Structure 1
Amino acid sequence: MKHTNKEILGKGIKYLAFALPLTLIGPSVLFTAFNNQHHPFYIPVLIGGIVAIIAAILLMFKGIITVVKAVFD
């Protein structure tokens, strides 16, 4: 089944929309984790922040690639 460029563009924008909150949440969680290193939940919060940042980067990359593919194909 062939997708239209409009559907592919919508999918790319959806990826970018999911990446936007993660770009704001990830660094703030990471900053909070580094400021509370004595807290017992330091490691889980640190891991959560790193996962959020990596997910934001991957979603942005996939979203930009999808939008470019929709525009130039």
Structure 2
Amino acid sequence: VEVDRYIAYPGQACSYKIGQLKFRELRERALARLGPKFDVRDYHHQAIGTGALPMVVLEAKVDGWIAAGGGKTT
């Protein structure tokens, strides 16, 4: 099944991996900048709460959240 998916959509695995790496990078950035104020649940709310976004938009959203001091936002 997985092989069939890669045959039908050869770029899928690469795009999945790029997305995974960006999510990890953003999480590490938030943790480094917010320190003890970092809350993984709040981060996940920011990172996935609005659904699918282009990576550049997601990065800007998370950076704005970090600049605002993290924490819960709506």
Give the TM-score band, short-chain normalised.
Answer: 0.3 to 0.5
Q: TM-score, normalised by structure 1?
A: 0.40
Q: Highest Rg: 1 or 2?
A: 1
Q: Answer 1 or 2: which has greater helix percent.
A: 1
Higher relative contact order (CA 8 A, sep 6+): 1
